[in-house]
A and B are shown apart, each in its own frame.
Chain A
């Protein structure tokens, strides 16, 4: 990989990775799979006579939540493959030999992975507009998808890249990254009565995924954007830690073999 004229190292990596993602089959295939998933989801909603007459705002909230969860796991898939995939294919050595700081390699790959989310958002828009038709909260729903949703997707990509950089193989990387994100995502399925328990409530606030889901639900149900804005604190902190500290950690720890030792 030759450093482009006047381009920072991360920009060169970013350009290369974006080309590989979008001009190869992975990006478009993931987008197609995403659109099929949303299609099946909407058809199931429309076909279920009990769900199809429940609160429309609740249905919008569910659709946003599902969209963001799919985005989280799609970028996690790419993130967890970013360095460990190259390690498995024995192409990491040439990447590490380029005169680009390893932290910048991570930044370039991270931003390229996030371009998948930028492709997913326009696909999700017609589905959310369909579910929110006639409610007057379609625009708010799209903003909720784009702003808090991007916080979580960015966090997921950061976790994936960090774990991939430190994992010796792809299998280990996928295993760890998916377990971490599944543990964070699982509490979104807790029943409402459990979520209101005092101890559980704080766990929900501290967990970035459940905090964003609560915030989105509040706003869609008519709450002001600023009322529960503190719920966005944990996803912002987690994103800063994953995206801000991840490349710093990889700058010194990214190695040919992987692992966390110096």
Chain B
């Protein structure tokens, strides 16, 4: 074997190595790209709320919307939007099932630049200060939860049965059958 053949084999070998390295880089890049496409950063998704405060009377409903927008360059995974309600002072216990008939909405992937509006309804049951907010979560583990700004709700008391109406009725009505009882007992004794 002469030196030119050796040089040729060396060159071919280098080209094969280069091709293998290049192929490896391409495969790695494609794989990385694919992984990047499947795991968008949740920072690209924003949640806006249509109102940030509401003053209501107990028993009323408040309606508001949240707008979800994908500001990223890739589609989001399917997401779940969940409404939470919290009392802002101790001594109040909010039972979310009673306060909102639909607290969870399931969303299809949002394409880049796409937005979706979600309506929510809240039945405020008693007086106090409360905060309601929407959290976005996904089955995709790399999607960090996104929380909307909160809707601050100030609820004033308004009962169906105010004590000023209740007391006269409950204090007076039993007196009539009581008087009837006393009269009949007295009548029976006199007989």
Contacts and interface: CB of A to CB of B under 8 A. Distances in A.
Contacts of B98: 50
Interface residues of B, number: 28
A31 B173 CA distance: 11
A216 B176 CA distance: 28
Contact of A23 (B166, B174, B184): B184
B180 to A, nearest CB: 4
A24 B178 CA distance: 14
A130 B166 contact: yes
Contacts of A99: none
Given A35-B177, A52-B159, A53-B160, A130 B184 contact: no
Interface in B150-191: 158-163, 165-166, 169-170, 173-174, 176-178, 180-181, 183-185, 187-188
A247 B180 CA distance: 32
B177 A34 contact: yes
Interface string B76-113: 00000000000000000000001000000000000000
Given A25-B184, A32-B174, A50 B126 contact: yes
Nearest to A45: B161
Contacts of A32: 174, 177-178, 180-181
A53 to B, nearest CB: 4
Contacts of B185: 25, 28
A52 B177 contact: no
Contacts of A54: 59, 125, 160
A206 interface: no
B170 A42 contact: yes
A131 B173 contact: no
Contacts of B163: 46
A49 interface: yes
Interface string B126-151: 11000000000000000000000000
A28 to B, nearest CB: 4
A123 B160 contact: no
Interface in A179-227: none
B169 A50 contact: no
B186 to A, nearest CB: 11
A45 B166 CA distance: 10
A35 B174 contact: yes
Interface in B43-84: 58-59
B181 A127 contact: no
A71 B185 CA distance: 23
Contact of B177 (A23, A56, A123, A133): A123
Contact of A46 (B59, B161, B183): B161
A27 B162 CA distance: 32
25 contacts: A22-B184, A23-B184, A24-B188, A25-B181, A28-B177, A28-B181, A28-B184, A28-B185, A29-B181, A31-B177, A31-B180, A32-B181, A35-B173, A35-B177, A38-B173, A42-B170, A45-B161, A50-B125, A53-B159, A126-B169, A126-B173, A127-B169, A127-B173, A130-B165, A133-B165
Given A29-B181, A34-B177, A131-B160, 6 more contacts: A24-B188, A28-B180, A49-B159, A52-B161, A53-B59, A130-B161
Interface of B: 58-59, 98, 125-127, 158-163, 165-166, 169-170, 173-174, 176-178, 180-181, 183-185, 187-188
9 residue pairs, one from A and one from B, having the closest CB atoms: A31-B177, A28-B181, A46-B161, A53-B59, A35-B174, A32-B177, A52-B159, A39-B170, A28-B180
